Structure 1
Amino acid sequence: EAVRRKPYSVVLFDEIEKAHPDVFNVLLQVLDDGRITDSQGRMVDFKNTIIVLTSNIGAQTLLEGIDDKANITDEASEAVMSQLRASFRPEFLNRLDEIIMFKPLTKDNISNIVDLVMENLNKRLEDREISVRLTDEAKDYIIDNGYDPVYGARPLKRYIQKSVETLSAKLILSGNIEAKDVIEIRLSGDGLEAVKG
């Protein structure tokens, strides 16, 4: 329905390997003909729609197949392609315009993601005139403990929510934080703590 109303769209199928076989049958028709017929018999045109499929197939192989210049080795690329061929039917793979393999995130990438998540948290706290700041040690601790190379940045965001946001919320609810205050998240023993900065 969304594509019928807005034909210039991007449609994302995340972790396509988990999709029901019927989804692949529909996708085959869309990728082959550029259109499908919906349940009411209306033709839906996909010719101006970009379809993006993501998959975790071969993720471990890619992690292990990085050379000393942080590039994916040819052997790793071939191994991932073999895994894709074993997981998807050839007629499906042949209809894809391109298969793009992403390199694992670097520590700098992860650090930038932490900065973005913290920026978002501080925007949410703007109306209370409170901000949260990480010490360098706390940020390194979050990067080391919150990032999982196999699953990407999603666990990192959850880790920040469970640790930084929870610690900050507890400090705010304690009544010790007022407008214009800064909450500092710092390393303490074997974990993080929130203190009035």
Structure 2
Amino acid sequence: RDLIRRGPGMDVRGHNSQSGEEGEFTSRVNVGMREGFMRPELLNRIDEVVVFHQLGRENLTGIVDIQLQRLRGRLADRGLLLELSAESKAQIASEGWDPAYGARPLKRVIQQRIENPLASRMLAGEFGTGDTIRVDYQGKSFVFEKHAAVGL
């Protein structure tokens, strides 16, 4: 299946449809396609119109967790655990969200603000196998704290 991402219905772009308005929104897109935007040969190949809703800030916490899970997996391969405070996650979400681009900048923010400083500290020998790295946001910076493994 192919996906048409731009064109039809661009005049209604940015319209935040609520669940009750979704049928009306989809109908407006369909009418826009039929009224001259697409030739009948192409229009007949479209099976369905799906409305994608723009991400809001409230969706970002879950996306931050997904992105951080990838980092946690890589650190686990080195015998390290990563914990982030609610404040640090909120700051990552704040810096990683853009009204025009949604969550696209999020991965870059995690890399620049968490991964790169963490990698530098790992190379300097601050963290070792079995350590838990706790990340907090204080003032205007992320703080990395080492919590050594407790022997049993």
Q: CA deviation at 1:135?
A: 0.8
Distance 1:166 1:70 in 2: 45
Aligned with 1:74 (options 24, 41, 47): 24
- Report the RMSD for the aligned CA atoms in angstroms: 3.3
Does the 8 A contact of 2:57 with 2:97 survive in 1? no
Does the 8 A contact of 1:62 with 1:76 survive in 2? no
Q: 2:150 maps to which residue?
A: none
Distance 1:115 1:60 in 2: 34
Does the 8 A contact of 2:17 with 2:25 survive in 1? no
Distance 1:190 1:174 in 2: 23
Does the 8 A contact of 1:177 with 1:196 survive in 2? yes
Q: 2:38 maps to which residue?
A: 89
Could you list the per-position Cα deviations for residues 58-108 of structure 1 after superposition, in whole angstroms to 9, with x for gaps in the alignment? 6895544244x69658358726974x6799633323311112111122444
Compared CA separation, residues 102 and 175, structure 1 to 2 (3 A): same
Matched, 1:140 2:97: no
Compared CA separation, residues 70 and 155, structure 1 to 2 (3 A): farther
Distance 2:146 2:75 in 1: 15
Matched, 1:178 2:136: no
Compared CA separation, residues 73 and 189, structure 1 to 2 (3 A): farther
Q: 3-state SS of the aligned residue for 1:185?
A: strand
Compared CA separation, residues 63 and 145, structure 1 to 2 (3 A): farther
Q: 1:65 maps to which residue?
A: 16
Instruction: Provide TM-score, normalisation by structure 2.
Output: 0.73
Q: 1:111 maps to which residue?
A: 61
Q: 3-state SS of the aligned residue for 2:105?
A: helix
Distance 1:118 1:156 in 2: 10
Aligned with 2:51 (options 101, 110, 126): 101
Does the 8 A contact of 2:84 with 2:135 survive in 1? yes
Does the 8 A contact of 2:56 with 2:102 survive in 1? no
Q: CA deviation at 1:53?
A: 1.2
Structure having greater relative contact order (Cα 8 Å, sep ≥ 6): 2
Identity %: 32
Distance 1:70 1:141 in 2: 33
Instruction: Provide TM-score, normalisation by structure 1.
Output: 0.58
Count of equivalent residues:
145
